[in-house]
Amino acid sequence: MATSGTYNYAPSLGELTLYSFQLCGVRPTEILQEHMQSARMATNLLLANWANRGVNLWTVDTETVPLLTSQTVSSSLANGSVVTLTFGTVNTPVYTVGSSITYTDNTNSNLNGTFQVTASGVGYVSYALSYSGAGSGGTITTSTPAATYSVDPTTVMILDAYITIGSLGSTQEIDRIILPISRTEYASYPNKQNPGFPTTYWFDRLISPTVTLWPVPDGNQSYLKYYRCRQMQDANFTNGQNVEIPYLWLDAFAFGLANRLAQIWAPQTVQILKPQADEAYQIAADQNTEYAQMYISPQIAGYFR
């Protein structure tokens, strides 16, 4: 039996789009610029829909967040009453308002000192100071690591998180899993600044998302690590780009895109394509799982009324 011996089939977005148009009855010779514009929009909205439906295993990766007592600042600016320090926006601390920070600027000593935080968010922190001027950046230091850290905005969900003790990659590295809590549960904690070994985390799913640890790291922990499901990369027609999906999802993508395009260009075929798109998605989704044993056991604990 003669076979190709290769495993390189990876059609571009353009090829998949032409096939999807054919599925809904639009021939390649009929396709205009307007067709391709709607196809690009439909493709990216389809990928967003898939991200909402559950965990896509090919988009799972690991993020490592250093739990440090120092943060490098890229720029500093004082407007006469408030100094604003800016730094990276991914995996960096978000300082608690009212907490104490010590700032040392590289070029402008007028900005230096120990101050109380008046405002903080993803990538910036502010404190009060009667001075006008700028600096080239410097270093923020605190007595203990911050409780809250910025999360890459491409993160759809955090799957598993754990705290690492010891140097990254060393034989002495020890990991301890921590568990998720809701906003309501975090709000119920009376002492949110209580230091200790973190046992829980709250993922605040904002446009600029953050993750908050409790108890607050006391300085004996090295890293927060978590597996996350991220959004899929943008799909474009330029330079024969591929869609960021694995081989097993090509059929589901073609039918899903055809169904969306049919709603615009061939409404009479939607009733035929919708069940086929749903079936193709379900087949791919059923395969998109980790095959491992699962154990279910009752939790035995005391009950108090």
Is pLDDT above 70 for 301?
Answer: no
Give the pLDDT band of residue 302 (cuts 50, 70, 90): low
Domain regions of the chain by residue span: 13-56+233-285, 59-67+149-230, 70-141
Model pLDDT, residue 294: 77
Q: What pLDDT was estimated at residue 169?
A: 67
pLDDT band per the 50, 70, 90 thresholds, residue 298: confident
In the predicted structure, residue 304 carries a pLDDT above the cut 60: no
Distance CA 94, CA 126 (A): 11
**Given pLDDT bands bounded at 50, 70 and 90, which one contains residue 299?**
low
pLDDT (average), residues 227-236: 97
User: What's the confidence (pLDDT) of residue 170?
Assistant: 67
Q: Residues 26-65: pLDDT tens digits? A: 999 999 999 999 999 999 999 999 999 989 999 999 999 9
Residues in contact with 208: Cβ distance below 8 Å, sequence separation at least 6, in sequence order:
89, 121, 122, 150, 153
| 72-86, 167-181, 198-212: range with lowest mean pLDDT | 167-181
Which amino acid is it at 41?
M
Torsion of CA 240, 241, 242, 244, to 10 degrees: 180
Which one has a higher pLDDT value, 239 or 296? 239
Give the pairing of strands 132-135 and 75-79: antiparallel
CATH classification (class only), 70-141: mainly beta
72-88, pLDDT tens digit by residue? 999 999 999 999 999 99
In the chain, beta strands by DSSP E = 60-66, 70-72, 75-79, 82-86, 93-94, 100-105, 113-121, 124-128, 132-135, 138-141, 148-150, 155-165, 174-180, 195-196, 200-204, 210-214, 216-217, 223-230
If pLDDT is split at 50, 70 and 90, which confidence band does 296 have? confident
Q: List the 200-204 sheet strands across, edge first.
A: 60-66, 223-230, 155-165, 174-180, 200-204, 210-214, 148-150, 93-94
Which amino acid is present at 116? Q
Return the pLDDT at 286. 94
- The model's pTM: 0.90
Contact between residue 62 and residue 227 where contact means Cβ atoms under 8 Å apart: yes
Q: Are strands 82-86 and 93-94 parallel, antiparallel or unpaired?
A: unpaired
Distance CA 265, CA 39 (A): 10
Question: What pLDDT score does 260 carry?
Answer: 98
Q: Is the pLDDT of residue 25 over 90?
A: yes
